[in-house]
Each structure stands twice: as C-alpha cells, then as structure tokens.
C-alpha cells in the first residue's frame, strides 16, 4: 500500500487515549494536534533544504533551512482544522487553504460546499489534513480540486485510515503519498472506521 504508517511507542500511546470513548473534548483535541505534528515531521523528511549563512553567539556559519513559502496546508473542514495547530507549530509560515465537505449519510459520498486556497497554490507542495481516511471520497475530491489548480506534489495526512480509503486513493492518485498514525481494520456498514475513534469532528468540537 502507498501509505506510511507511523510506528512509534508514543504514537501508539496517544492513539490509545484518542480511541477511548471516555477521553474528553479538551484532551482529544490536544492529542489530535500532537499526532498531526508527528505526522508532519514524517511527511517532510524529504523537504528540500536551502543553504544560508547565520551567526551564532560564537561565530558565523553556513547551515541549511527549509523555505516555508514552498508549502501549503489544506485541512478538509471541519475535522481537518483540528490538525492545523499541530502542523502550524512546525511550519508557521506556510499558507493555509480550506476545503469544505459534508458526507451524505445515505450515499456516504462527500459534497463540496467551500474551496479557498492561496492564489499561487500550484507553486507549492500541499499537505491535505483530515483525521480520518475512511471511504476515500473526501480525499479523492480534495486531491482532484487541487490538481485542477495545477498542484503537482500532494501528500495526505490522517490520524487513522481504513484499507478501503487507502486503496481508493492509490488507484486514482498513485502519486499521492499517504501518512497515517494507524491503518485500521476495515469500514463497517455505515462506512465508519473499525475499530476507529468515532466521529473525529464531533469529538474535536464537542458536538455530540
């Protein structure tokens, strides 16, 4: 599968708390942000570096930095915004776009109602943020919208992912790398991830 699953004791520990139905809104939100930071570190392992000269308290030296203008983060509303703080803490000067979608509870397919991205999005590497990659419908729509804008390098970051969603993205967009904290077992008859963590948006914002 074209998905990189984070394998680390801290990730597993945080996920265990996140999945627990007793975990409250505040802690759930904080852990989603923390896991997003970890995913961002992994997804940017191949980031291009530029040589710069700085001066330490001791002397001048040549070192390397990332050009943050080369990146944009695009959360899928609304749950994807729960990952944003953790991502921005790593690359604070990246531009932010938003894609608004909601799921039709009968067809399980997403409907796009909002799409706003930086004008020069085609010149940037884009990381799409969504805590859950379930059927893959929202991911596919988001990827296609960005490709229509000329974006060539896209990565997809999720907290948990179902094999069905990963397969859907792989088949239509094999060039898009998926990063996730966990590849779960399957989708149930209501297209929820099993064992999952419930509805990420409701748990992040306390709406249920």
Tell me which residues are annotated as active site.
103, 107, 199, 202
Question: For residue 76, what are the contacts with CB-CB under 8 A and spacing of at least 6?
Answer: 99, 100, 101, 128, 129, 130, 138, 139, 142
Rounded to whole angstroms, how far apart are CA atoms 84 and 62? Answer: 32
Which DSSP helix (H) or strand (E) runs through 97? none
Rounded to whole angstroms, how far apart are CA atoms 6 and 22? Answer: 24
Instruction: Answer for the pair 187, 162: CB distance below 8 angstroms, yes or no.
Output: yes
């Amino acid at each position: 599968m074209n998905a990189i699953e984070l394998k680390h004791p801290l990730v597993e520990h945080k996920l265990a708390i996140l999945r627990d139905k007793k975990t409250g809104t505040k802690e759930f939100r904080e852990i989603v942000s923390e896991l997003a930071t970890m995913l961002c570190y992994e997804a940017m392992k191949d980031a291009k570096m530029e040589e710069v000269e700085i001066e330490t308290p001791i002397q001048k030296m040549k070192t390397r930095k990332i050009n943050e203008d080369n990146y944009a983060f695009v959360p899928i509303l609304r749950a994807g915004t729960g990952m944003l703080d953790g991502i921005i803490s790593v690359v604070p000067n990246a531009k932010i776009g938003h894609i608004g979608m909601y799921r039709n509870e009968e067809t399980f397919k997403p409907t796009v109602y909002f799409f706003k991205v930086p004008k020069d999005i085609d010149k940037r590497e884009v990381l799409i943020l969504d805590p859950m990659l379930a059927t893959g419908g929202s991911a596919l729509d988001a990827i296609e919208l960005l490709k229509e804008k000329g974006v060539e390098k896209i990565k997809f970051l999720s907290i948990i992912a179902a094999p069905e969603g990963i397969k859907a993205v792989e088949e239509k967009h094999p060039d898009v790398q998926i990063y996730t904290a966990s590849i779960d077992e399957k989708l149930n008859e209501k297209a929820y991830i099993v064992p999952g963590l419930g509805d990420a948006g409701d748990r992040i914002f306390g709406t249920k």
